[in-house]
Amino acid sequence: MKRILIVAIVVCIGARCEQRQDRFQSPRERMVQTQIVDRGVRDTSTLRAMRTVPRHEFVPLEWRGNAYDDSPLPIGYDQTISQPYIVAFMTEVIKPRKGQRVLEIGTGSGYQAAVLAEIVDTVCTVELLPELAASSAERLKHLGYRNVVVRQGDGYLGWPEYAPYDAIIVTAAADVIPKPLIEQLKDGGIMVIPVGSLEIVQSLTLVKKLGKEVTTETVLPVRFVPLVHPR
């Protein structure tokens, strides 16, 4: 009798957990279909990652109900988590694969890092604000992302210790393409970075490195918070 009772309680708790997980599953599925697939993102690993990562865990409690909306959201400290479509677009465009190491500049909430971590082997991510670096590291750990390393520092300098990277993704707008990031890119590597000032529309720019040659190509007008030069 006692054993039956214990089993019943365990089953009950399990069901409640699942219910909690499922609460956001249909808005998440709808987000992927209407905001991402319908706008042309096709890479299967990107779509799988967008369907998997619980975006509501990366936004402040008061914004949880809007976590799957078609927009960026505030994450505190005047920073934002990017619009889901932009996250998916930037992920697809760097062609992430298993076995790769990717550098992200601008950890913010940790959402983009989690999306990448679903696909590649290691994500190294740099955040300037100590509070956000600490909270995103804690969140990623809590959610079980053991292949992400977070560092507080100036992203203009990259993260030389783990270089070279197969790909680099910058999620704040830089006034110039930082030289250290080009140096830390693998031969044959690719970087996606918004370039331009806050006042005008910025250009999402693809940077490819092949031997000594570096090519750039703009792919999308975007608006990001600035990549700040720390004093």
What amino acid positions are annotated as catalytic residues?
82
Segment interacting with ligand SAH (CB under 6 A) among 38-46, 102-110, 158-166, 198-206: 102-110
Binding region for ligand SAH (CB under 6 A) out of 3-11, 42-50, 125-133, 137-145: 125-133
Considering only residues 58 through 97, tell me which ones interact with ligand SAH, judged by CB under 6 A: 79-82
State in angstroms the smallest separation of the CB of 65 from ligand SAH: 18
User: Which whole-number Å values give the CA distances from 114 to 55, 58, 111, 223, in the listed order?
Assistant: 9, 10, 5, 22
Among 91, 100, 112, 135, binds ligand SAH (CB under 6 A): 112
Output 129 or 206, the one with its CB closest to ligand SAH: 129
What is residue 114's three-state secondary structure? helix
How would DSSP label each residue in 37-105? Answer: ITTT---HHHHHHHHHS-GGGGS-GGGGGGTTSSS-EEEETTEEEPPHHHHHHHHHHT---TT-EEEEE
AA identity, residue 205: T
Binding mask 154-193 for ligand SAH (x = CB under 6 A): xxx--------------xx---------------------
Nearest CA among 50, 121, 122, 40 for reference residue 83: 50
Query: Which listed residue (117, 122, 124, 127) binds ligand SAH by CB under 6 A?
Result: 127
- 8 — phi, psi (to 5°)? -60, -40
Q: Which two tokens stand for residue 229?
A: 């030069």
129 binds ligand SAH (CB under 6 A): yes
Which H or E run includes 30? helix 25-30
Name the residue nearer to ligand SAH (CB basis): 102 or 172: 172
Counting residues that bind ligand SAH (by CB under 6 A) gives 23
Interface residues toward ligand SAH, by CB under 6 A? 79-82, 105-106, 108-109, 111-112, 126-129, 132, 154-156, 171-172, 225, 227-228
